[in-house]
A and B are shown apart, each in its own frame.
Chain A
Amino acid sequence: MNVIEFDRATIGIGGRDILVDTSLAIKQGEFVGVLGPNGAGKTTLMRAILGLLPPRAGTITIFGQPPHRGNPDIGYLPQVRTVLPDLRVRGLDFIASSVHGERWGVPSLDRAAYDMIDKTLAAAGAADLGTRPLSEMSGGERQRLLLAQALLGEPGLLLLDEPLISLDYRYQESVIALVRNFARERNITVLFSAHELNQLIGALDRVLYLGNGRAALGTVDEVVTAPVLSQLYGSDIDVVRADGHIFVLSRGRSVEQADHMHDDGHAHGHHHDHGAHA
């Protein structure tokens, strides 16, 4: 069964089309790495799937239905995450706020809902974060909490927008492994956007490369090639394979590295790339 289907879909924001006339299908249980240069539309793609951005042409189908806001089958970790550094609210209440948080009235969660939160926190290795206030968590711990929240309710589709940003290398590996195992055990489809391909290679089934209004979906061997990427980046790209790693180079320079350095300077403010979400 296809979880995500784009049929000649065009999506864009403002005066710019991010994806033009694109058709693709992603099956249940697939782990898809979403890659591409900055501004290629990774976030926009996820917002379209969430129903926040109707397609300008063509159709998008999610679980056999048009995208709609508040789809409970989708777990989402946004890239722009408002960080309230002084927030003295414990992790449990932070997460619980998202459970039916769109309903009116005074919040009320039953025992079963709290049990579900506890179970998910444990599965995400974040059981100890429930009682601690966010103001006392490190960046990595906050990320783990947000990841646990995205997994809450075992959605059929996980949209993780740059979950590795501002994490150190060791911790990035554990996030990838956690998502991979959680999704595989439950046959969950994952869209995982990232800057670097190499860390994801072991985890992903297919890769979705975005750029220049186009998308290329396929296995790493099919997509991460000089001709395909040159078209997506709009410049001459070399792909060098060495020792199980793949390096995407533009004029001898790693394009991922360039993106990454750009991000390191801004990621902590979390207002980076904000224009792309408006």
Chain B
Amino acid sequence: MLEYDFMRNAFAAAGVAAVVSGLVGYFLVLRGQTFAGHALGHIGFAGATGAALIGVASIWGLVGFTVVAGIGMGLLGERISGRDVAVGVVLALALGFGLLFLHYYTAFATQVTALLFGNVLAVDHATIAVLIGLAIVTLGGLAAIMRPLIFASLQPELAEAKGVPLRFVSVAFLAIVALAVAESAQIVGILLVFALMVGPPATAQKLVTGLWSGIALSAAIALAEAWLGIAIAYQTDWPVSFCIAMLSALGYFLTRGSFLPRRKATQ
């Protein structure tokens, strides 16, 4: 299947996006912010359709909207109670706007399915170049804040006392998540970013308890699921995003199962 150019492109694009999603997703799961990641995808939908309306490539609308929304969410604060409610309301509003933009730009409607559910088989060289560029920025940013990010995620109270700027780290991280969501959405679509950003890290955390082994395994699982998903899609003619989502869920529920020892300690 690698003799086709579009298949090679698909593997390359999915590989880049999967590794980024697996790495960034690990921290998203660690911090318990998966819902924010989900919401960023929906907000990206409004950005992508809005960009199409004003004649800009939808990926830049996606990137722009998710990053701005990510920064906004971070600025809303580390510990606003009912944060999930606010995120949920914004999420619905963003989808509503996406629909409004579509309403005025009907020619774009054919691409909506691709936006929502991904279309990795239609990726061209230019898109791959954009994905690689975004990946470098995303992973560069993650590397820059990784140390205080881990500290602030595991022990926010102590991190604050030790001089970690919690607010800044939180904002910077959500901006990084926004970029990763934009990457992931190119492969599996906005509605299925969880398949690459949450499934693999959650599976990795079930399997290993080391921080570094967990991060590496998360990226490896995301990559394996993305590539295997494309291969299965090639053989079966099922949609790629379905195959990846199925593998992601399968991995998670298999490792969640009771055959792994789960000691419940008592004091």
Q: Which residues of A contact B (CB under 8 A)?
A: 47, 50, 52, 69-70, 76, 78, 80-82, 84, 87-90, 93-94, 96-98, 100-107, 131-133, 136-141, 149, 167-168, 171
Contacts and interface: CB of A to CB of B under 8 A. Distances in A.
Interface residues of B, number: 35
B154 A105 contact: no
Given A88-B206, A101-B159, A104-B148, A136 B265 contact: yes
Contacts of B151: 97-98, 101-102
Contacts of B162: 69-70, 98, 101-102
A76 B161 contact: yes
B125 interface: no
Given A70-B163, A171-B267, A82 B155 contact: yes
B29 to A, nearest CB: 10
A104 B144 contact: yes
17 contacts: A50-B161, A52-B161, A82-B155, A88-B209, A89-B205, A89-B209, A93-B211, A94-B154, A96-B211, A98-B162, A104-B144, A105-B147, A106-B147, A107-B146, A139-B267, A167-B267, A171-B267
A105 B263 contact: no
Nearest to B263: A136
Q: Secondary structure at chain A's binding surface: helix, strand, loop or mixed?
A: loop
B267 A89 contact: no
Q: Secondary structure at chain B's binding surface: helix, strand, loop or mixed?
A: helix
Interface string B198-215: 000000011001111010
B191 to A, nearest CB: 25
Most A CB contacts (10 A, CB to CB) among B30, B209, B212 go to B209
A78 B157 contact: yes
A90 B213 CA distance: 11
A132 B263 CA distance: 10
Contact of A105 (B32, B143, B164, B265): B143
Contact of A103 (B32, B143, B147, B263): B147
B214 A136 contact: no
B148 A101 contact: yes
Interface string B42-58: 00000000000000000
Contacts of A168: 267
Given A104-B144, A133-B209, 7 more contacts: A84-B32, A88-B206, A89-B211, A93-B209, A94-B154, A102-B163, A141-B267
Contacts of B64: none
B214 A89 contact: yes
Given A52-B161, A102-B163, A106-B146, A97 B267 contact: no
B266 interface: yes
Interface of B: 30, 32, 143-148, 150-152, 154-164, 205-206, 209-212, 214, 262-267
Contacts of B265: 136-138, 141
A105 B147 CA distance: 6
A140 B267 contact: yes
A106 B142 CA distance: 8
B60 to A, nearest CB: 29
Contacts of B147: 100-107
A101 B209 CA distance: 19
Given A138-B265, A138-B266, A88 B148 contact: no
Contact of A97 (B143, B150, B160): B150
Contact of B210 (A76, A93, A97): A93
Contacts of B205: 88-89
Nearest to B211: A93
A44 B146 CA distance: 30
Contacts of B148: 101-104
B157 A90 contact: no
Contacts of B212: 93
B263 to A, nearest CB: 5
A69 B161 CA distance: 6
Contacts of A84: 32, 154
Contacts of A136: 262-265
Given A88-B205, A171-B267, A107 B158 contact: no
Most A CB contacts (10 A, CB to CB) among B32, B154, B156 go to B154
Most B CB contacts (10 A, CB to CB) among A69, A81, A97, A141 go to A97
Given A101-B147, A104-B145, A138 B267 contact: yes
A67 to B, nearest CB: 11
Contacts of A82: 155-157
